[in-house]
A and B are shown apart, each in its own frame.
Chain A
């Protein structure tokens, strides 16, 4: 049997053609096998899983004092006296500082003197002393006697005039003297009557008005001077005091700030979309920019009944003002720090969750595409709590179901699909959710 010359055979055109046909057949076969094995639209999938998740509303704001007193200079004055220093604990009513106020002091003294005088007058009018009564009575009796004497004198002169012994001029003088005595008598009678029975009508009103006016003047002077004799309105700590006695305090300067550093709050604006989820009493986690990594507790204290429009950089945002009290026993938080807030609207617990990429909305329904043994199946779901990256599914899915992420447009129920071998850019796990 002749030996098989492989080298010679490999050089024949037939061999080469056969080899080419084999390669072509192999390639075609591999393609057909591959098409069969990997048919269907390529999709990325994610499993329905259980995750610890709650619901939070995020907001940012500045830490403020819940209660504070800012002493603002009304006009430019010299700081005369200072009775406290920064960090001092003060009580409401405690004297803090005195600004130069010579004119105001003089005005107050004058007003007080006038008031004292008016008070004395009024008192004398309303409740006269026995001595006053005696004097009044004596004056009345004196006027009465003088008047009666004048009357008798008048009658005598009248008789003489009739007899022609007295001239008409003397008669006229006598009549005028009688009228003067009558007036004096009537006045004394009235004064005595007021002393005995108290003032009546216009007299009483006039006396009361004078007293009231004097009191108002004193009050105004006291109020005026209170702007320069500064007292604490609240219990607290002197938080800011930069001036020394002798310094010129200019109009509008906030030269003393008193507050309670342990009672802090944050006022934030929550977007209208989130506002319905925020309610008074909800727990809040607060992180100050100055103290990163440390979270403080707080509580929603108030949710405004009206929304407001916030305009920044030509954008309009409707937000609802929300007040949050801050609990900080460490004293590390300071008013003025900027803070990020996480308002816990729904408490964290284990929930069945899906990534947002799997959810689509159609005709008011929330739907997902389930990868079901190589086919896409449309499933309507009921969702619950919404986290940052995931949302809860209450109804429609089971743990472990495979969902199609970012479903391709035009995907049909029952359409053949194929899972991608490389993972899609799925959201990273977040324990805070």
Chain B
């Protein structure tokens, strides 16, 4: 792949916006200045802000899911219902705040592992910075989910998705459906950006890094889909 070799320094705003249109330029810039904290804070904040309007729906939806379960006195008590609602809210907030960080930590670790065997040695924190910016497409998917979530009634809240699961009827738990639920174009985009950034920093081929990252994702997706389908088949 041809890399853009513009040597101008980019501001934080330029980095955040150009990652969608000129990612190579952003990663080349990150090679010089791998500051990531401000970007991470902004991404986490936006993620949290995108989650906040959905909290009440999230709570209501979790309680509705609980009530759909067969009669169980332990689960139908007001305490249990309250606990489930609170857990859903806390989980949503924690997920919104921590997801960017976790994504960056894990993918950077995978890139570092790849870097141990090939390419120029790159510091983990630089790869981490790449992954922080690579999370932006996933943040975009959060914003899309926010828009859809706001217009969706609570009982259909579970149907909101940005994955290929959209092509399956809701509550389908077959293996293809579970696999489709893991194919999120925005996540794949983020992984591609991480691979691209990693390749630029390691001075390696994007194709090689891309295949490595994709294979790891594929193993994860196949494994969790199979397990999920198996678990659901034993539950029904």
**What mask results when residues 152 to 168 of chain B are scored 1 for a CB within 8 Å of chain A, else 0?**
11011001111000110
A292 interfacial by beta-carbon distance below 8 Å: no
**CB-defined contacts of B64 to chain A, threshold 8 Å:** 41, 408
> 8 Å CB contacts to A: which residues of B131-169?
140, 144, 147-148, 151-153, 155-156, 159-162, 166-167, 169
A27–B164 CA distance with the chains assembled, in angstroms? 9
In the complex the two chains form, is B170's CB within 8 Å of A42's CB?
Answer: yes
In the complex the two chains form, is B166's CB within 8 Å of A38's CB?
Answer: no
A424–B151 CA distance with the chains assembled, in angstroms? 30
Least distance between B66 CB and chain A CB atoms (Å)? 9
A431 interfacial by beta-carbon distance below 8 Å: no
The total number of A-B Cβ pairs within 8 Å is: 74
B144's partner among A13, A24, A357, A425 (CB-CB below 8 A) is A24
In the complex the two chains form, is B144's CB within 8 Å of A408's CB?
Answer: no
In the complex the two chains form, is A32's CB within 8 Å of B151's CB?
Answer: yes
B173 interfacial by beta-carbon distance below 8 Å: yes
User: What is the total number of residues of chain A having a CB less than 8 Å from a CB of chain B?
Assistant: 31
A28–B141 CA distance with the chains assembled, in angstroms? 10
Q: Which residue, of B68, B70, B153, has the highest number of chain A Cβ atoms within 10 A?
A: B68
Nearest to B235 among chain A residues (CB) is A425
In the complex the two chains form, is B166's CB within 8 Å of A422's CB?
Answer: no
A30–B168 CA distance with the chains assembled, in angstroms? 11
In the complex the two chains form, is A422's CB within 8 Å of B172's CB?
Answer: yes
Query: Is the contact region of chain A dominated by helix, strand, or loop, or is it mixed?
Result: mixed
Least distance between B147 CB and chain A CB atoms (Å)? 7
A34's partner among B71, B170, B173, B236 (CB-CB below 8 A) is B170
Given A17-B20, A31-B161 in contact, is the A38-B71 Cβ separation under 8 Å?
A: no
Least distance between A352 CB and chain B CB atoms (Å)? 24
Nearest to B67 among chain A residues (CB) is A409
A24–B146 CA distance with the chains assembled, in angstroms? 12
**What mask results when residues 2 to 21 of chain A are scored 1 for a CB within 8 Å of chain B, else 0?**
00000000000100110010
Nearest to A23 among chain B residues (CB) is B185
In the complex the two chains form, is A35's CB within 8 Å of B21's CB?
Answer: no
A421 interfacial by beta-carbon distance below 8 Å: yes
A420 interfacial by beta-carbon distance below 8 Å: yes
In the complex the two chains form, is A408's CB within 8 Å of B236's CB?
Answer: no
A27's partner among B22, B70, B156, B166 (CB-CB below 8 A) is B166
In the complex the two chains form, is A421's CB within 8 Å of B22's CB?
Answer: no
Given A27-B162, A34-B170, A410-B67 in contact, is the A422-B236 Cβ separation under 8 Å?
A: yes
In the complex the two chains form, is A424's CB within 8 Å of B236's CB?
Answer: yes
**CB-defined contacts of A34 to chain B, threshold 8 Å:** 159, 166, 170
Chain A interface residues toward B at CB < 8 A: 13, 16-17, 20, 23-24, 27-28, 30-32, 34-35, 38-42, 357, 406, 408-410, 416, 418, 420-425
A-B contact pairs, 9 of them (CB 8 A): A17-B20, A27-B144, A30-B167, A35-B152, A39-B153, A42-B68, A420-B171, A422-B172, A422-B236
7 closest cross-chain pairs (CB), A and B: A13-B21, A30-B166, A409-B67, A31-B148, A38-B170, A408-B68, A35-B156
